[in-house]
Amino acid sequence: MKGWRAVGGALSIALYVLLWAPLVMVAVFSFNASRLGSGWGGFTLEWYAALWRNESALAAARNTAVLAVASTAISTVIGTLLGYGLWMGTRQDGRRSGGWIWAERSLQVPVLIPDVVFAVALILWFGWIRQSWSLGEPGMLLMVLGHVSFQIPFVALVVRARAARLDPRWVEAARDLGATPVEAFLKVTLPLLRPGVVAGALLALTLSLDDFAVSFFLSGPGSTTLPVLIYAQARRGLTPDIHALSTLLLVGTVAAVWIGGWWRPRGR
């Protein structure tokens, strides 16, 4: 037994090294005075200062933040209502009819389909819309709609899983005490769904910040995001200021994870 524990511990350590070593290397080279990055040239903060003078990087950061916040807000509201609706329909039907099963499983298709295939599908769809409406023009609005389209299933499935653990008698008690359906949802159901809503929103936010394929195909002039910018820079050769930008993104992501874990309700 001890031998298997030792093997499991070694594999766990190797996995964490494989996961974190490249990220740590990027952070280390963001402080490297050597511009080429071929060797250690000393410690410097020059590249972080240069990053703040990089107008294209700052514009991409603003676009990424606007895109992530707007798409997450929209997808969280729609996904929460959709997940709650699936739970209510299944609970009232009781037998999980084919219609409800199809509706729930259809949400899993955008989750499983490759990003590039989904991005190409969005291009075709918005291109068809462009023939009769200017909404199909590439830009920030189109990117928000594209991100919302793949964020909604993630939020809905997470909220649906959380709703499955609720006791419907709480809602029935609120209705018996005179609450309207809207009041019962806002004052009873929604607070009970809050962990699932928060988890779905954080997942949607992470997916938006991390997305490349949809943003790359739907972006227009002045709407470049950080993943697209980093990809363009990597094709010409990575510079230390991109290492600094990647490090800031890593620190922000780790901070968001820790804040989300600390804020999450504790206890049973």
Q: What is the pLDDT of residue 264?
A: 57
* Domain count along the chain: 1
CATH of the domain at 144: 1.10.3720.10
DSSP state of 38: S
Q: How far apart are CA 88 and CA 43, in angstroms?
A: 58
- Range(s) of the domain holding residue 229: 45-263
Per the domain annotation, does 222 fall within a domain?
Answer: yes
**Tokens coding 132:** 């009769």
- pTM for the full predicted model: 0.81
On whether the CB atoms of residues 250 and 19 are closer than 8 A, the answer is no
Q: What is the pLDDT of residue 147?
A: 94
Per the domain annotation, does 37 fall within a domain?
Answer: no
Q: How far apart are CA 215 and CA 223, in angstroms?
A: 9
Q: What is the pLDDT of residue 90?
A: 67
Q: Which residue shows structure tokens 């511990």?
A: 9
Per the domain annotation, does 233 fall within a domain?
Answer: yes
Query: What single-letter amino acid sits at 175?
Result: R
Q: How far apart are CA 78 and CA 118, in angstroms?
A: 20
Q: How would you write the pLDDT of the chain (268 residues) with one tens digit per residue?
A: 667 777 788 888 888 888 888 888 888 888 888 776 667 778 888 888 888 888 888 898 889 999 999 999 999 999 999 988 888 776 554 555 556 677 777 788 888 888 888 888 888 888 888 777 766 678 898 899 999 999 999 999 999 988 888 877 777 788 778 888 788 888 888 888 888 898 899 889 889 988 889 999 888 888 889 888 888 887 777 778 888 888 888 887 777 777 766 665 554 4
Q: Residue 14 CB: number of other CB atoms within 10 A? A: 10
Per the domain annotation, does 126 fall within a domain?
Answer: yes
Q: How far apart are CA 126 and CA 122, in angstroms?
A: 6
Per the domain annotation, does 81 fall within a domain?
Answer: yes
Q: What is the pLDDT of residue 42?
A: 80
Q: What is the pLDDT of residue 265?
A: 53
On whether the CB atoms of residues 37 and 30 are closer than 8 A, the answer is no
Backbone angles phi, psi at 32, to 5 degrees: -85, 125
Q: How far apart are CA 143 and CA 123, in angstroms?
A: 11
**Tokens coding 189:** 């159901």
Per the domain annotation, does 6 fall within a domain?
Answer: no
